[in-house]
């Protein structure tokens, strides 16, 4: 069985200043393992959230529906999800929420667990396989191009929380963005 995502945050919740939140979102240093920031340097948080809210309304899908679907993806043991091959990546860590109110992996749990899933675009499978074979085990470095070419999406175990609690799908300049239109297509989300 896949992994249930729970809040293992042991810190004391605190109110962050707007400046501190933006610094965390744009710097990628919320925890030292982040290679990409949550939001591009020239992106406006409020504009990104408002734009995504509008897209969700157009699609007839709720934040909770998207968050639940990503949780179901993490629970799945299948090697294929909605016609898209699944690549599970195991780490001993997971990103900490930039709002400082959530962490899906206890800092005391040093076992490997799936904290990231690459969902390969089943409609472009040959191109995706060629792309990944050419890059070998390049890991994170090839993610921006993989996403830009719509060959796959990267889901993190923090995404359900960011979407459900902060209405945040990440910025347009990060490969970890859970673009609402792509997510609906990749996860086959119907309208409510």
φ/ψ of 103, rounded to 5, equals -150, 125
At 19-40, the pLDDT tens digits run 999 998 987 654 434 457 899 8
**The pLDDT of residue 70:** 96
d(CA 77, CA 57): 31
- For residue 125, tell me if it sits in a domain: yes
**The pLDDT of residue 28:** 60
**The pLDDT of residue 10:** 63
The residue range of the domain holding 120 is: 18-187
Residue 81 β-bridge partners: 84
**The pLDDT of residue 139:** 58
SS3 62: coil
d(CA 160, CA 167): 10
d(CA 186, CA 151): 11
- For residue 181, tell me if it sits in a domain: yes
For 140, other C-beta atoms within 10 Å of its C-beta total 14
- For residue 11, tell me if it sits in a domain: no
- For residue 67, tell me if it sits in a domain: yes
Number of domains in the chain: 1
- For residue 112, tell me if it sits in a domain: yes
Q: What is the mean pLDDT of each run of 10 residues along the chain (192 residues)?
A: 73 78 77 67 95 97 97 94 92 82 76 88 93 74 87 94 96 93 92 46
- Judging by beta carbons within 10 Å of its beta carbon (0-12, 13-18, 19+), is residue 73 exposed, middle or buried? buried
Confidence (pTM): 0.88
The helix-helix angle for 45-59 and 180-187 (nearest 10°) equals 40
- For residue 12, tell me if it sits in a domain: no
């Amino acid at each position: 069985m896949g992994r249930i995502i729970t809040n293992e945050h042991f810190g004391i919740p605190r109110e962050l200043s707007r400046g501190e939140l933006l610094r965390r979102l744009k710097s990628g240093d919320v925890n030292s393992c982040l290679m990409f920031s949550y939001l591009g340097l020239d992106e406006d948080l409020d504009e990104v959230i408002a734009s995504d809210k509008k897209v969700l309304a157009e699609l007839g899908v709720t934040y909770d529906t998207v968050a639940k679907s990503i949780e179901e993806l993490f629970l799945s043991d299948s090697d294929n999800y909605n016609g898209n091959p699944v690549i599970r990546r195991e780490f001993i860590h997971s990103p900490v929420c930039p709002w400082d109110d959530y962490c899906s992996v206890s800092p005391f749990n040093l076992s490997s667990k799936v904290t990231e899933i690459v969902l390969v675009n089943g409609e472009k499978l040959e191109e995706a396989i060629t792309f990944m074979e050419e890059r070998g085990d390049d890991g994170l470095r090839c993610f921006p191009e993989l996403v830009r070419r719509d060959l796959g999406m990267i889901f993190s175990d923090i995404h359900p929380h960011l979407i459900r609690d902060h209405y945040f799908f990440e910025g347009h300049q990060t490969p970890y963005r859970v673009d609402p239109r792509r997510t609906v297509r990749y996860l086959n989300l119907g309208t409510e």
